[in-house]
Structure 1
């Protein structure tokens, strides 16, 4: 009976030592986990700015697609007016090519947004976002009211401004985007529309 107290003290020390070892191991394990995150680039600091976790796209990609869809839609509307209003055969041909190129691109842009799980329009709509080259409603009405040579010149002038806006948006996507398909489409848009701007400038010079 006299020896029971030392035995109890030894048992308590043994339990305390074991608990300390468990705490120490847990702490070491936690350090290894953090270290592993650092080495694999899993920390927020290692992620690209605006990148979505576990995805290959970022905010720039989403903005590009959401803005380019209505931008293309307006260009298609302008091109459709040329079918019945243009007086110059080259203007009609160019307008048809613009529509033929941009209709499928709208489908592609919608497809990227669907793949990313993003809406077609940003929250709150497009009113709070500036789209370079978008034609004001007054200019659209002027274009709708014109025919023949007047339409040809106005269409070319307005479409040049519109195209330059799309080229700017495409350049931004190539510089800031992350999605390979979106960046490839931006490159295609930029190349095609630069060539069309040159062609429309020649049309204006000729008219």
Structure 2
């Protein structure tokens, strides 16, 4: 026998079905929303990785420079130029082949270093020291090539250790033979020792990687040359 439902009972059943459907839809939407939210940490983690990668990027410390780097280049350039000027005297004045060979070695090493440091100063927009024929740049131990707009006056440039005076250079030019050899070696030892002081300061206070590396190279090579020159002079 067929069961007949009253209109009231049919209305209650329809409302129950509608409520169940709404609840199911809400659960589905929540699940989808949860999926979107669960993906967010992944995106955040990715963004965080990007930030970490940026932070891990090498700083400009190696490519940046400071005032010490500028001073090192501005002082070492005329210092090297004078050493080269001294070395240029050896081929026609020295008697010892060892002295001639040393002079050639000094020129071969220091000419490219002058070019390198000149390039740094130009790139930094800093003054490149001028030179004169003697390599002394005017006054003993000091470069007086400052010019307007350079940011460094001639009088503000500190003395460079180991530099020969104009009188020293003139005296060396007048020598020859054994006298020249001994004077050249003694003067070059003093000159190199001045360069060592400058190189050590750059290593301690410089910020530009290539400049501190050059300073380290200068310290090593010129220390070895000093030892060789002392041996030539019969000294320990």
The root-mean-square deviation of aligned C-alpha atoms, in Å, is 1.8
Greater helix proportion: 1
**Candidates 172, 178, 185, aligned match of 1:143:** 172
Q: Residue 192 of structure 1 aligns with which residue? A: 221
**Among 136, 143, 156, which residue is 2:185 paired with?**
156
Moved more, 134-143 or 159-168: 134-143
TM-score (norm 1): 0.71
Q: Distance in 2 between matches of 1:114 and 1:95?
A: 28
Once the two structures are TM-superposed, the CA of residue 155 in structure 1 deviates from its matched residue by 0.1
The aligned counterpart of 1:100 is 108
Find out whether 1:168 has 2:197 as its counterpart: yes
Q: Match of 2:74?
A: 66
- The answer to whether structure 1 residue 86 and structure 2 residue 115 are counterparts is no
Deviation beyond 4 Å, 4+ runs, structure 1: none
Determine if the alignment matches structure 1 residue 131 to structure 2 residue 160: yes
Q: Point out which structure has higher relative CO (alpha carbons under 8 A, 6+ apart).
A: 1
Question: Which structure is larger by alpha-carbon Rg, 1 or 2?
Answer: 2
Determine the C-alpha separation between the residues in 2 that align with 1:101 and 1:138.
26
Deviation at 1:126, TM superposition (A): 6.6
Give the TM-score, by structure 2 length: 0.62
Equivalent-residue separation in structure 2 for 1:102 and 1:84 (angstroms): 20
Structure 2, unaligned stretches of length 5 or more?
1-54, 56-60, 130-145, 147-151
1:178 aligns to what SS in structure 2? coil
Change (3 A) 1:127 1:73: farther
- 1:118-160 superposed Cα distances (whole Å, 9 cap, x missing partner): 1113621377411000001111111101000000000000000
C-alpha offsets along residues 82-129 of structure 1, whole Å, 9 cap, x if unaligned?
A: 010000000000000000000000000001112212111362137741
Question: Which of 183, 188, 206 is matched with 1:177 structurally?
Answer: 206
User: How many residues are paired up?
Assistant: 154
Deviation at residue 169 of structure 1 after TM alignment: 0.1
CA distance in 2, matches of 1:177, 1:125: 22
Residues 128, 135 of structure 1: alpha-carbon distance in 2 compared, 3 angstrom cutoff: same
- State how far apart, in whole Å, the 2-side matches of 1:65 and 1:152 are: 29
Runs of 5+ consecutive residues of structure 1 not aligned to the other structure: 1-39, 41-50
